[in-house]
Amino acid sequence: MYEGIDTIVLYEELAWEDLLPVAWVSVPGTPEPALLVHQAERNLRLLQAASALEEYGQHEKPDENAPYAADIMRLDFKLNLLLDLVGQILAANQPRPSPVPVRFNTKGAVWRAGSAGARPRAGEQGFVEIHLRDCLVQPLGLYGQVIDSGADGRVKVRFAPLAETVSDLLEKLAFRRHRRQVADARNPRRS
């Protein structure tokens, strides 16, 4: 039976799909190994922060028997509100690209480049920078090569192999996002 949600796939693997600010930074030649190690460490910290900010318990009904459940829910709401406000301030003070539909996973990314600026060309190497959340200052930066850059603005990039820790965390986040979308499709009143 069809449940109203399609699995989002890219390069035959589960992918994260969202409307996010995306930028392409061209890098002539292959970056220095030290730069790639530094970028992997930044990506790992960023993905750990994104994972910590996920709102896992938001849809679950609180345990009424827990003595401080209502207080914890109020604190959680206030903390989320504070993070959203800080994110808005950061976004206003640090220019970011306009959000575009993007689909990405550990293998690559596909997005529709905006009309501003030059589009990457097929064969070009560089970093895809994806801003996961407003309250996270740094973007996720993944090195790869442009596979296709169509006249319609669609850009497809294949990533260089990622560090195992970065790859594992990115896969987990994509899976959690997919699982939440399936749950929301099955029970639309929870949203």
C-alpha 6/C-alpha 172 separation (Å) is: 18
Which pTM value belongs to this model? 0.80
Please choose, from the candidates 125, 105, 115, the residue with its C-alpha nearest in 3D space to the C-alpha of residue 30: 125
C-alpha 169/C-alpha 38 separation (Å) is: 17
pLDDT tens, residue order, the chain (191 aa)? 334 456 788 888 999 999 999 999 999 888 899 999 999 999 999 999 888 877 544 445 556 667 787 788 788 778 877 877 887 787 777 788 989 999 999 999 999 987 655 689 999 999 999 999 888 889 999 999 999 998 888 999 999 999 999 999 999 999 988 888 777 777 776 54
C-alpha 13/C-alpha 16 separation (Å) is: 10
Pairing, β 13-14 against β 16-26 = unpaired
**b (16+ CB within 10 A) / e for 96-119:** bbeebebbbbbbbbbbebeeeeeb
Is the Cβ–Cβ distance between 166 and 142 less than 8 Å? no
Q: Which domains does the chain have, with CATH numbers?
A: 9-54+96-183 (2.40.10.220)
Is the Cβ–Cβ distance between 27 and 142 less than 8 Å? no
DSSP lists the bridge partners of residue 130 as 22, 140
